[in-house]
Amino acid sequence: MAGSVNPAVQKYLEEVARLKAEAAERAAAKEAKAKASEGALPPGIHNVQGKLSLVLPEPPPEPAAEDCCGGGCVPCIFDTYQDDLADYRGEVARLQTLWSERQQPPAAVQTVAEGGSSAYPVTDVEDLIRAAVVKSAASARQRLSPSRFTPFRLVNVEQINHDTIRWVCESVIDKAGDQDADNKMEIVPLQIREGQHIFIRALVEGKYVTRPFTPLASHARSHQITFMIKIYPNHPYTQTLAARAGEDTVLLRGPISGGPQRDLREARRIVFLTAGSGIMPAYQYLVELLRRPIDGALSSITLVYSARTVEDIWLRAELGDLAKEAPLFGCHFVLTKGGQYHGGFGRLNAARVAQFLAKAGTPQPDPHVPISTSTLVRRGHDTLVLICGPPAFNLDIKHHVSRFGVPESDIFVFQ
């Protein structure tokens, strides 16, 4: 029939309309809550003109179904929400107990969202205020949360090469707070450590899509986070990120830990085997390891970075600077196309992986003894191998490292 709408298209349009309506409703509720809390006291027990008032914290926002990326993250956004909810209930119980110990009327209890402040005279005011370990107002302005998305301003977008862009994001909340002359609250530095990643959420073809990225660095003084993002052809999500411009608002969630659960400095030798964007978590650890005094048994750190061409090497200048500053750091680039450059040409096959492991000082297996399960036992060589790249790369490289004789306990693969 002429003019009829395809049922699939109609369903898609209805889904888009529903998502937009829900997003608008959440934005309106957030704005209303922000207006209601303007001028309100932060959670805790406060002395208002010689009288006391108890203000309870707001409960953590419950994530929506589309906030979960479905990627099996540990912890999931719903896991961190439950943790935040438990912390919230514990803090409420603590403040209420402290208040009841001073025999205050329960009517004095209120939430931030209700605004205002109920005040009652009480003796020993200063003692009560000192006893109340109130959460700092700065914690309510934490720039990042693993359980909810926080708006950041995209302050700079730079094209690095033919398929890579660099994003610099700045906290919207902190920038506004810094300009408030009447606001004396402490600014909390960005807490992003090596091995942690952050989720970037984007509206792609009418639906929210979330993917993890390892930040290049966090600048506590300027409240900024830097990302390197590879743009793939015919990939709606990365194409959407590529279309974002400076001063756009982006949604970030994290940080989420995903690194090895051990102190890397306890190893005698560390070898990073990386490919493509897998350099990012390796770079986090390299900066942490090399820009602090080396103590203990750690004697060498080796990076083997596989890329297509020289132009595809991320952070080439930064890695060169690290190599100049730290004699124990060896940096090798292996190009699969485009010639040889400080490391070799071709793919990281078993022979080449064995070559780099041996060069790093890893004891080699006896060539007269066939590789078998009995030979893959711990030989006390204390070489820690960390692998990060595309899934197929990770699988192959782990197999090569295991065949060389490095025990499973000394191999870590970033997911």
Nearest to 300 by CA among 357, 260, 346: 357
Gyration radius (Cα) of the chain, Å: 27
361 φ/ψ sector (left φ>0, alpha ψ -120 to 50, else beta): left
39 φ/ψ sector (left φ>0, alpha ψ -120 to 50, else beta): left
Say whether 151 counts as a known binding-site residue.
no
Task: Tell me the C-alpha distance between 307 and 276, whole Å.
Answer: 6
Read off the tokens for 245: 């411009």
Say whether 212 counts as a known binding-site residue.
yes
Measure CA 104 to chain center: 43
Say whether 262 counts as a known binding-site residue.
no
Nearest to 258 by CA among 72, 20, 13: 72
Q: Are 244 and 250 in contact (CB under 8 A)?
A: yes
DSSP state, residue 26: H
Q: Which residues are registered as beta bridge partners of 250?
A: 152
Hunting for tokens 């009447």 — which residue is that?
Answer: 182
DSSP state, residue 85: H
- Provide the 10 A C-beta neighbour count for residue 122: 17
Nearest to 204 by CA among 235, 177, 228, 231: 235
Sign of CA pseudo-dihedral 176, 181, 183, 188:
positive
Biggest CA–CA distance in the chain, Å, is 87
Nearest to 153 by CA among 260, 57, 225, 68: 225
Q: In what order do the strands lie in the sheet with 109-111?
A: 44-48, 51-56, 109-111
3-class SS of residue 163: coil
Q: Provide the annotated binding site for FAD.
A: 211-212, 230
Q: Provide the annotated binding site.
A: 211-212, 230
